[in-house]
Amino acid sequence: MKIALGVTGGVAAYKAAELVRRLQQEKLDVQAVMTRAAQEFITPLTFAALTGQKVITEIFSAENAAPANVESAIEHIAVAQRIDLLLVAPATADSLAKFAQGLAGDFLSTLYLATKAPVVVAPAMNVNMWEHAATQENLATLRARGVHVVAPDEGYLACGMVGAGRLASTDAIVLKVRDVLGLRHDLDGQTVLITAGPTCEDIDPVRFLTNRSSGKMGYALAEAAQRRGARVILVSGPTDLKIPEGADWVPVRTTEQMHQAVRERAAEANIVVMAAAVSDYRPAATHEQKMKRDDGGLTLTLEPTPDILAELGREKGQRVVVGFAAETNNVAENARGKLARKSADMIVANDVTQEGAGFDTDTNIVTMYLPDAPEISLPKMNKFDVANRIFDQALSIRKNSK
């Protein structure tokens, strides 16, 4: 997930450097946006070194003065579209007023208006400025618009006064960011094994049987598990997706290879989520040379592949085992049947004919089926959110089984 960290002009601006480190520990990608006043207290170079990214300081700068550089000239729109959250810390009285009034005189205020991502502000200022009716009215306006406010601490202020106005602690700000983004650490110390993507079964050196799985659901599960503190083993069929940083990535191609990888690594896992679209059948014989076309038809003899989920279900022990079912009809009946046959703790089923729930989409519409319990149907949501709901339920299963 990507965060834009807005740093405005105040003595507390130096604390934003430590905030960057704490956000990175949450596996968040941080890009700093600084106002001119902020640069009087701390240099952009500091944030560039900490984040490894360009620090944005102006809407119009020397590097994008050329008319041909359209991308730079509308950078605030590009940043607004790719971030998952805008955090402003410290937020001065001036920046809060600009946000509340919809003024857009610098990059940060323009970014605030242009983004649809959640916004968190952590004010820091003199106690009298904090308590002034204008500041409080601006905060009330921002809260009414959905902006999350991390109230300042009380104590000794840089101006020599004592009272509310100190920038909230780094821990308090990070906790708010976690809450807004739905980040948790409830999988600390747990190992999660996830399978993802399709498998491929060779017919000859140039042809194979496969399916339409993109692997997006499995990779979203890996990202969600990591963000919640788990050690992740990701056994993946062929995909074009970026390997999650920090995951123990095990690439496979065939169902047999996935079977062997899961058998070798399952003992390490507390939770196993079988999200891969595994081929149910493979050619009984593989041709060593390319098969040539002739005028007649072609009959392929297929044989069943190993049933990895059923094997895990029989030998799960204390592990929680979650399977997936991609269906086109009779979803509930098929999912309940699979739940019983595979001895799984949960089956996550979807109707792949529904818009937004099929293959190669960024969203999904799923129903979770558990033994002796009502199904849990989720509305259409992005796959990362679906992944978190799956882990919520998996943790509930673990808790109830103890």
Same domain flag for 197 and 173: no
**What is the structure's pLDDT at 163?**
66
Other C-beta atoms within 10 Å of 151: how many? Answer: 12
The per-residue pLDDT for 159 is: 63
User: What integer is the mean pLDDT of 249-275?
Assistant: 98
**Mean predicted confidence (pLDDT) in 277-302:** 93
Per-residue pLDDT at 165: 76
Specify which residues 249 forms β-bridges with: 234
Residue at 186 is within a domain: no
Query: Within a domain: residue 282?
Result: yes
pLDDT tens-digit profile of 88-116?
999 999 999 999 999 998 999 999 999 99
Indicate whether 136 and 17 sit together in one domain: yes
In-domain check, residue 344: yes
**Token pair recorded at residue 68:** 């041909």
pLDDT for 325 beyond 70: yes
Residue bearing tokens 């890996």: 222
End position of a domain, from candidates 181, 206, 227: 181
CA 147 to chain centre: 21
| Separation between Cα atoms, residue 80 and residue 18, nearest integer Å | 24
Quick check: is 294 in a domain? no
Give the domain-ending residue among 146, 181, 216: 181
Asked whether residue 154 falls in the same domain as residue 217, the answer is no
Instruction: Note whether 149 and 233 are same-domain residues.
Output: no
- Report yes or no on 292 lying in a domain: no
pLDDT in tens, 157-193: 666 666 677 899 999 999 999 989 878 889 999 999 9
**Residues annotated as catalytic (active site), given as ranges:** 159
Q: Rounded to an integer, what distance in angstroms lies between the CA atom of residue 260 and that of residue 253?
A: 11
Cis bond leading into 90, ω under 30°? yes
In angstroms and rounded to an integer, the radius of gyration of the C-alpha atoms of the chain is 26
Say if residue 275 is in the same domain as residue 138: no
Q: Quick one: 164 and 251 in the same domain?
A: no
Name every residue whose Cβ is closer than 8 Å to that of residue 338 and which is 6 or more positions away in sequence.
Answer: 323, 325, 344, 347, 349
Any residues with CB less than 8 A from the CB of 167 and at least 6 apart, and which?
10, 12, 15, 89, 90, 122, 123, 124, 152, 153
Single-letter amino acid code for the residue at 182: G
Residue 74 clears pLDDT 80, i.e. is over it = no
Do 50 and 164 lie in one domain? The reply is yes
Same domain assignment for residues 378 and 259: yes
Which residue has 């990608």 as its token pair? 29
DSSP one-letter string for 8-20: -SSGGGGHHHHHH
The pairs formed by 348-353 with CB atoms below 8 angstroms and a separation of 24 or more are: 348/275, 348/322, 348/323, 348/324, 348/390, 349/324, 349/325, 350/325, 350/326, 351/327, 352/326, 352/327, 352/328, 353/328
Q: Specify whether 165 is located in the same domain as 273.
A: no
What domain range is 342 assigned to?
Answer: 191-287+300-401
The mean per-residue pLDDT over the stretch 310-325 comes to: 96
Residues 168 and 261 in one domain: no
| Model pLDDT, residue 150 | 96
Q: How many domains does the chain have?
A: 2
Domain boundary among 132, 156, 181: 181
Which CATH number covers residue 144?
3.40.50.1950
pLDDT reading at 63 higher than 60 = no
Please report, for the domain that includes residue 196, its CATH number. 3.40.50.10300
- Asked, for residue 85, whether it belongs to a domain, the answer is yes
Q: Check residue 331 and give its pLDDT.
A: 96
Q: Evaluate the CA torsion angle 331, 336, 337, 338 in order and state its sign.
A: positive
Residues 200, 155 share a domain: no
Intra-chain end-to-end CA distance of the chain, in Å: 33
Burial of 308: CB neighbours in 10 Å, binned 0-12, 13-18, 19+: buried
Question: What pLDDT sits at residue 364?
Answer: 96
Q: What is the pLDDT of residues 210-257, one digit of tens each?
A: 999 999 999 999 999 998 989 999 999 999 999 988 899 999 999 999
Question: Given this model, what pLDDT does residue 324 score?
Answer: 97
Do residues 31 and 106 both lie within one domain?
yes
